Structure 1
Amino acid sequence: MKKLFFYTLFLLTATHTFAQKDAAAKTILSQVSQKYRSYPIIKSNFSFTIDNQQAGMKETRNGMLITQSKTNKYKISIYAAGSKADVEQEIINDGKSQWTYLKKDKEVQLSDAKAGADGFNPAKIFTMYERGYKYLYTGDQKIAGKVYQAIDLSPEDNKQQFFKIRLLIDKVKKQIYSALVFDKSGSKYTYTISNLTTPANVPASTFTFNAKAHPGVEVVNLK
C-alpha cells in the first residue's frame, strides 16, 4: 500500500460551499476545540477506510495518532492490513520537519513540515473548522446507543478535490467520533476514532524519526 493510502485523508479540501457559517454548528465545534486545547497530548486509535464502489475497492487500515495541540506536532502510525501492531508506515512531524517512513521500501522521506500549503495538519483535526471552512449542523444521529451531532464542512477554496467533510461528534463527550470525506471522483474516506486517551506527557523523541533505530533505511531528503 502506497503512502497516499492514508495521507490522502489529511488533504481535506473541497469544491462545494454552504450558504453561511451555521451558528449551531459553530457552538458545537467551539466546544470540541476548547476541550481539545485543554489537553497537552491526545492519543487516539483509529481505523481508516477507502471506499470506491465504482472501482470495486474497499480497504481498511488501523493506526494510532498522537498530537500535541500547542506545538502542532504529531505522529501517525499505520498498521499492516489486519493488524493493530505491525507498523507499515509512519508520518512524524515536529513542526519544522516531516518524516514519512515506509517500512516495506526501507525508506524515509524528509521534507519541510510546511511543504504543501493545501495539506491538512492532523494536529488540527479538532480545530480545523476555524479557518477556511464553512459549516452546517445537520442534526443528530444515533449509533449503537450513542447520540452524535452531524456537521458538514465545506472549504471556502473552490479549487480543491473534496466537496464535503462530514463530522460526527459525540454529543456527551464533545469529541470527534468520525470524519467522512467525499471526493469528487466518487471515493469516500472514513476516519473513525475507536479510543481516545489524554496522557500527561510523551517523550520528546516521539515527534522525531530515529534513524539509528532503523538500520538500513535510506533517507531521501526532499527539503
Structure 2
Amino acid sequence: MKKTTFSMQRFIRILSVFILTFSLSAYAQDATKAKKLLDEVSGKVKSYNNIVFDFKYSLSNPKKNLNQECKGNVVLQGNKYVLNFMGVTRIFDGKKVYNIVPEDEEITISTFDDKKDDGLTPSKMLTFFTSGYKYAWDIVQNVKGRKIQLIKLTPLDPKDNTKEILVGIDSQTKNIYNLVQIDKDGTRTTFTINSFKANQPLSKNHFTFTESKYPNYYINKLD
C-alpha cells in the first residue's frame, strides 16, 4: 500500500501563529467567553443529521523542507464518515475502517480502535476542542466580508506535541471556518473549510463498504 504523510491527528488538530498576552483577570473573562462560543459550535455540529464539506489542507516546516498542499472532502453522519484525501478513500462504518487506494488497487480493512492515536476521526474534528485545552479569546479576521472570530487553544498536557491551536469561527453561522496548528517543532498545519452543507439527502448505504465494487483489488485484512 502506498505510504502517505497523512495523519488523522494532524488533520483534526491545527495550530495558529497568533499569540496574544492577557492579564489574569482578562484571561479569566475571555476564557469563559471563548469556551461558551466553542460550546455553541459543538452543540450546532451535534444537531445536524449529517455534514458534507470540502476542505483545503496545507503543511509546512521550512527547517524540515516540508511544503505540502492538497484538497479533500468529507461526508459525516454520527461517527460514520467517508473521507477522500490525497488519492485515498477512507470509509468508517462505525466498526471497521476501509482504506481504498485506487493507484495501488489495494484495500486495507481494520477494526477501529478509539484508544490509538489514529483513533481521532473526522467525526471528532469539529468537536475535539471541548476538553483538554485552555481557552483564550483572540482577534477577529475579516475574510471576504465574513467575520471570523479566533479562539486560541493551549493544550493542558505538557507532553502534547502541539504548541497552540487557533479555531476560526464564522460569527454569523457559528460554524468552523478554519483551524491553524503549530507544533513545538515549528510545523504549521492549516485546515480551511471551503464549502459546508448540513442535512443532505444520503443513501442508506452511503457508509457501507461493498467489496464487489473492487473486483481486481488486493484486500488486506489486518485483524
The TM-score range, normalised by the shorter chain, is 0.7 to 0.9
Cross-structure match for 1:4: 5
Cross-structure match for 2:160: 160
Root-mean-square deviation over aligned CA pairs:
2.5
State how far apart, in whole Å, the 1-side matches of 2:156 and 2:94 are.
25
Structure 2 length-normalised TM: 0.83
Structure 2, gaps ≥5 residues long: 16-26
Larger radius of gyration: 2
Task: Describe the SS at the equivalent of 1:205.
Answer: coil
Q: Is the 8 A contact 1:152 1:165 kept in 2?
A: yes
Per the alignment, do residues 19 and 215 of structure 1 end up closer, same or farther by CA in structure 2, a change over 3 Å counting? farther
State how far apart, in whole Å, the 2-side matches of 1:116 and 1:103 are.
29
Within-5 A mapping of 1:55-94: 55-68=64-77, 71-78=78-85, 88-94=87-93
Structure 1, gaps ≥5 residues long: 80-87
State how far apart, in whole Å, the 1-side matches of 2:65 and 2:142 are.
29
Q: CA deviation at 1:30?
A: 1.4
State how far apart, in whole Å, the 2-side matches of 1:98 and 1:133 are.
28
Tell me whether 113-122 or 187-196 shows the greater mean CA deviation. Answer: 113-122
Normalized per residue, the structure richer in helix is 2
State how far apart, in whole Å, the 2-side matches of 1:25 and 1:164 are.
15
- Alignment of 1:114 onto 2:113: yes
Q: CA deviation at 1:167?
A: 0.9
Q: Is the 8 A contact 2:57 2:69 kept in 1?
A: yes
Q: Deviations over 1:46-78 (max 9, x none)?
A: 11111122233322111111111xx31111112
Q: Tell me how many residue pairs correspond in the alignment.
A: 210
Per the alignment, do residues 50 and 33 of structure 1 end up closer, same or farther by CA in structure 2, a change over 3 Å counting? same
State how far apart, in whole Å, the 2-side matches of 1:10 and 1:19 are.
29
Cross-structure match for 1:42: 51
Q: CA deviation at 1:13?
A: 9.0
Q: Is the 8 A contact 1:20 1:134 kept in 2?
A: no
Q: Is the 8 A contact 1:64 1:77 kept in 2?
A: yes
